[in-house]
């Protein structure tokens, strides 16, 4: 079984266990926190950087020893990140819902929940914990699921970043009502990364969509190439997390210094 299949199998089990302790009906009837508009910050002039917080990954292992989500969030916001992505998968990425809760209280920029969402429960849960947007991965969802999840998210005020990796996934996503499409430069089956994936697939997406390039963005030259190709935003994780001074690296990538 591939890594991705293992992740999804575990995620189904995890979600079912959550439903037993905190039912979907309870989530739907809960008071919801205020929100910040995720889509609007991606539409601002100049390329937007979504800076990511994650402890580890299957490909890199533990990324940063002095991991402090609150300090990282402050650093990202102070150095120009327009949004912050927080990875919440525990088993494979060392994430936690607590990371979202802490970051939400710390910064004023929108928060994207990076997670393997396979059930509507996770969408309501994301809104309940204060997220402003969620990631939906086209490669693990049917078009019917994508349409439904986008509709549910829209009803409760969440933005959706729909992640693709192949041309046929884009063609499918274009029929779902998506507004923000992210191209993942990392192949989720092989874990290989190449930003050329974004450069090629961007041409397939109509201009009125908001587009985000994800993963493998390491240098100012990478940022310029993607910006010149018409991307509205970049999601950058490991490059910032591995940097000795994440704030300085963020400014370097954005061209602020």
Return d(Cα 248, Cα 76) in angstroms, integer.
Answer: 10
The domain 3-254 having CATH identifier 3.40.920.10: the answer here is no
Given a cut of 70, is residue 242 above it in pLDDT?
yes
**Residue found by looking up tokens 């439904």 in the block:** 148
Q: What is the pLDDT of residue 192?
A: 82
Return d(Cα 34, Cα 157) in angstroms, integer.
Answer: 10
User: Which tokens is 157 given?
Assistant: 């005020």
Q: Mind listing the pLDDT tens digit for each residue in 122-146?
A: 999 999 999 999 999 999 999 999 9
Q: What is the pLDDT of residue 101?
A: 94
Strand runs (DSSP E) across the chain, as ranges?
Answer: 48-53, 56-57, 61-62, 83-87, 111-114, 133-137, 159-164, 180-184, 210-214, 233-236
* Whole-number average pLDDT of the chain: 94
Q: Mind listing the pLDDT tens digit for each residue in 153-204?
A: 999 999 999 999 999 999 999 999 999 999 999 877 777 889 999 999 999 9
Q: What is the pLDDT of residue 1?
A: 54
Return d(Cα 102, Cα 109) in angstroms, integer.
Answer: 13
Return d(Cα 213, Cα 52) in angstroms, integer.
Answer: 13
Q: How many CA atoms lie within 13 A of 1 on its CB side?
A: 8
Segment 227-233 mean pLDDT: 97
Return d(Cα 90, Cα 73) in angstroms, integer.
Answer: 19
Got the DSSP string for 141-191?
Answer: S-HHHHHHHHHHHHHTT-EEEEEE-SHHHHHHHTTTT--EEEEESB-TTT-
More confident residue, 60 or 239: 239
User: Which tokens is 80 given?
Assistant: 């120009």
Q: What is the pLDDT of residue 257?
A: 63
Q: Which residues are marked as active site? A: 52, 54, 114, 163, 184, 214-215
Question: What's the pTM value of the predicted model, to 2 decimals?
Answer: 0.95
Return d(Cα 244, Cα 62) in angstroms, integer.
Answer: 15
Given a cut of 80, is residue 5 above it in pLDDT?
yes
| Cβ atoms within 10 Å, residue 33 | 14
Degrees to nearest 5, angle at CA 8 with 212 and 151: 55
């Amino acid at each position: 079984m591939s890594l991705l299949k293992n992740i999804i199998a575990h995620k189904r089990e995890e979600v079912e266990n959550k439903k037993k302790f905190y039912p979907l009906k309870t989530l739907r009837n809960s008071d919801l926190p205020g929100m910040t508009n995720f889509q609007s910050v991606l539409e601002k002039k100049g390329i937007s950087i979504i800076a990511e917080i994650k402890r580890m990954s299957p490909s890199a292992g533990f990324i940063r020893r002095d991991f402090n989500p609150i300090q990282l969030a402050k650093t990202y916001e102070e150095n120009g990140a327009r949004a912050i992505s927080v990875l919440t998968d525990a088993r494979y990425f060392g994430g936690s819902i607590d990371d979202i809760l802490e970051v939400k209280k710390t910064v004023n920029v929108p928060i994207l929940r990076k997670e393997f969402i396979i059930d509507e429960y996770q969408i309501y849960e994301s809104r309940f914990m204060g997220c402003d947007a969620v990631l939906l991965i086209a490669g693990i969802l049917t078009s019917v699921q994508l349409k439904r999840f986008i509709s549910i998210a829209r009803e409760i005020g969440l933005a959706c970043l729909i992640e693709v990796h192949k041309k046929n996934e884009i063609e499918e996503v274009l029929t779902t009502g998506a507004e923000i499409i992210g191209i993942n430069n990392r192949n989720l089956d092989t874990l290989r990364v190449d930003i050329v994936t974004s450069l090629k697939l961007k041409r397939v997406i109509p201009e009125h969509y908001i587009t985000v390039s994800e993963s493998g963005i390491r240098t100012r030259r990478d940022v310029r190439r993607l910006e010149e190709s018409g991307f509205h935003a970049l999601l950058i994780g490991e490059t910032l997390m591995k940097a000795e001074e994440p704030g300085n690296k963020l400014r370097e990538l954005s061209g602020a210094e």
